[in-house]
C-alpha cells in the first residue's frame, strides 16, 4: 500500500522555491503535493509553471482589502489525493482560511506543520501585539514548526516545546549558485571583468533587489556619489520597480556616470558574472535572501543595522557577520555606510573567502531540506 501524501499549502510559489520543493519531493519518495495560487496583479513575487517531479495544484487566490487578507479553497485537495499524513502550511496571519485548513487537516487525521517567520519585520519582538500573540498561539497548536532562522526558533521557544521546533535555514538553490561560481573561478575574475567591459582595478558595486522605497535605492545613489570621490567606480543596478525612473533622474541630477540599470534578472545564470566580478553588494535598505545569493557567489555585503524600534530585515540577516562576510554600519548613517564599504574594498579577498565559507557551511539547499524532512517525520510520528 502506497504511503499517504504530504501536502504543502502556500499562498504563492515563488520561482526560488522550486528547487526546494523538488529536493523535498525526492526526499519524501514522491509523496509531495504542492498547493498554491497566483500572486495579485502587480505583485513582484513570481509564481511560474515549471516542470518538476512534485505534484501541484494551482488554486484561485482570493484577496481582500488589496492584499491585506487572503483566502484559498482547500477541501477538494483531500478528496483528490487522499488523506495526507502531514499538512505543511505557510505561516501567515494574512490567511483567513489557515485556521480552518489546520482544523480540517486534524479532522482528516493529518499532522500539522507550520513553516515561516512567525513574526513581523515591521515590529520589535519586545513589543508583541495581537497579531504576534495570534501567531504564537497557532504555532503552539500544531505538531511541529519549521523555522526560517535561529532567531525564529528562539522566538518560538517561548511558546512551543523545543522538540517541536526545527531549523530549516531559508536559502536558495545554492547547488546551482556554487556551480556557477566555480565555473567563473575557472575563467578567472580578471577575464570575467574584461568580458563585462570592466577595468581590472576599478571598484565595482552591485545593488540587487526590487526598486522600491524600503530597499533604499535612492540612498544608494547618494552613497555611490560619495564613493566616486575616491576615484572612478562602477555600479550595476539589478532589479526593477517603481523607483527606477526617479533613480535615473537622481543620477542625472547628481551627474553620476558608470551606473548601469540592468533590470530584473530572475535567472541565476544572467546575474552570476556581475556578482562574481563585483567587490561589494550595497543594500541601504532591508535585505533578505539576497544575502544567500551574494555569499554563494563570494560577494560580501554592506547593509545597515536595523533601527531600534523594529526588526526591519528579513531573518536571513543573521547570516551577515559584521567584519567577516560583510559590514553593518549604523542605521541611516551615510558616512558610516561609505566607510564600511571602503573597509570591504580594502580587504575584499578576506571578506569574499568568509562569504563563500559561510554559504558552503550554513546555507546549502540540502541543509534546509534536512530540517524540513526532520519536522515532517516528527509530525508524522505524532499524528493526532
| pLDDT tens profile 252-273 | 999 999 999 999 999 999 999 9
Full residue range of the structural domain in which residue 373 is found: 6-171+364-381
Same domain, 134 and 281: no
Nearest in space to 59 (alpha carbons), one of 45, 77, 80: 77
Same domain, 146 and 226: no
Classify residue 329: in a domain, yes or no: yes
Please give the grid coordinates belonging to residue 120: 513581523
Strands (E), 126-212: 144-147, 165-167, 204-208
Q: Rounded distance, CA 355 to CA 299, Å?
A: 7
Please count the other Cβ atoms lying within 10 Å of the Cβ belonging to residue 380: 19
Same domain, 49 and 150: yes
Same domain, 71 and 156: yes
Please give the grid coordinates belonging to residue 52: 518538476
pLDDT given at position 43: 60
Same domain, 376 and 309: no
Question: Which residue ranges in the chain fall short of pLDDT 70?
Answer: 1, 41-51, 124-126, 128
pLDDT given at position 45: 53
Count CA within 13 A, CB hemisphere, residue 89: 32
pLDDT given at position 237: 97
The answer to whether residues 112 and 143 touch, using CB atoms and an 8 Å cutoff, is yes
Q: Rounded distance, CA 167 to CA 170, Å?
A: 9
The answer to whether residues 272 and 208 touch, using CB atoms and an 8 Å cutoff, is no
Report how far apart the first and last C-alpha atoms of the chain are (Å, whole number). Answer: 21
Please give the grid coordinates belonging to residue 189: 575574475
Same domain, 358 and 368: no
pLDDT given at position 4: 96
The answer to whether residues 344 and 279 touch, using CB atoms and an 8 Å cutoff, is yes
Same domain, 46 and 114: yes
pLDDT given at position 49: 53
Same domain, 207 and 231: yes
CATH number, position 270: 3.40.50.2000
Q: Rounded distance, CA 360 to CA 181, Å?
A: 12
Classify residue 335: in a domain, yes or no: yes
The answer to whether residues 12 and 36 touch, using CB atoms and an 8 Å cutoff, is yes
Same domain, 350 and 374: no
The answer to whether residues 103 and 133 touch, using CB atoms and an 8 Å cutoff, is no
Same domain, 17 and 72: yes
Domain total of the chain: 2
Amino acid at each position: 500500500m502506497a504511503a499517504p501524501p504530504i501536502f504543502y499549502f502556500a499562498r504563492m510559489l515563488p520561482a526560488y522555491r522550486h528547487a526546494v520543493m523538488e529536493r523535498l519531493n525526492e526526499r519524501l519518495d514522491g509523496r509531495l503535493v504542492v498547493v498554491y495560487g497566483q500572486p495579485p496583479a502587480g505583485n513582484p513575487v513570481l509564481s511560474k509553471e515549471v516542470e518538476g517531479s512534485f505534484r501541484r495544484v494551482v488554486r484561485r487566490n482570493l484577496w481582500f482589502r488589496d492584499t491585506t487578507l487572503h483566502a484559498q479553497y482547500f477541501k477538494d485537495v483531500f478528496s483528490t489525493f487522499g488523506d495526507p499524513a502531514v499538512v505543511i502550511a505557510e505561516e501567515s496571519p494574512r490567511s483567513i482560511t489557515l485556521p480552518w485548513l489546520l482544523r480540517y487537516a486534524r479532522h482528516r487525521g493529518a499532522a500539522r506543520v507550520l513553516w515561516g517567520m512567525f513574526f513581523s519585520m515591521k515590529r520589535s519582538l519586545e513589543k508583541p501585539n495581537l497579531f504576534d500573540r495570534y501567531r504564537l498561539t497557532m504555532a503552539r497548536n500544531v505538531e511541529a514548526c519549521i523555522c526560517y532562522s535561529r532567531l525564529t526558533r528562539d522566538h518560538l521557544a517561548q511558546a512551543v516545546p523545543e522538540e517541536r521546533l526545527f531549523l530549516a535555514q531559508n536559502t536558495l538553490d545554492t547547488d546551482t549558485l556554487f556551480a556557477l561560481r566555480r565555473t567563473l573561478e575557472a575563467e578567472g575574475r580578471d577575464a570575467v571583468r574584461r568580458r563585462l567591459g570592466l577595468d581590472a582595478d576599478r571598484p565595482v558595486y552591485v545593488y540587487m533587489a526590487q526598486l522600491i522605497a524600503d530597499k533604499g535605492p535612492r540612498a544608494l545613489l547618494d552613497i555611490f556619489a560619495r564613493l566616486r570621490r575616491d576615484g572612478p567606480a562602477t555600479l550595476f543596478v539589478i532589479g526593477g520597480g517603481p523607483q527606477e525612473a526617479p533613480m535615473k533622474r537622481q543620477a542625472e541630477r547628481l551627474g553620476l556616470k558608470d551606473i548601469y540599470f540592468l533590470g530584473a534578472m530572475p535567472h541565476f545564470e544572467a546575474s552570476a558574472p556581475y556578482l562574481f566580478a563585483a567587490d561589494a553588494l550595497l543594500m541601504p535598505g532591508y535585505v533578505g535572501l539576497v544575502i544567500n545569493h551574494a555569499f554563494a557567489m563570494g560577494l560580501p555585503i554592506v547593509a545597515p543595522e536595523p533601527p531600534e524600534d523594529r526588526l526591519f530585515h528579513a531573518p536571513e540577516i543573521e547570516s551577515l557577520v559584521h567584519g567577516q562576510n560583510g559590514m553593518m554600519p549604523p542605521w541611516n548613517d551615510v558616512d558610516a555606510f561609505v566607510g564600511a564599504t571602503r573597509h570591504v574594498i580594502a580587504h575584499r579577498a578576506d571578506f569574499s573567502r568568509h562569504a563563500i565559507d559561510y554559504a558552503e557551511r550554513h546555507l546549502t539547499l540540502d541543509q534546509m531540506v534536512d530540517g524540513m524532512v526532520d519536522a515532517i517525520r516528527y509530525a508524522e510520528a505524532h499524528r493526532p
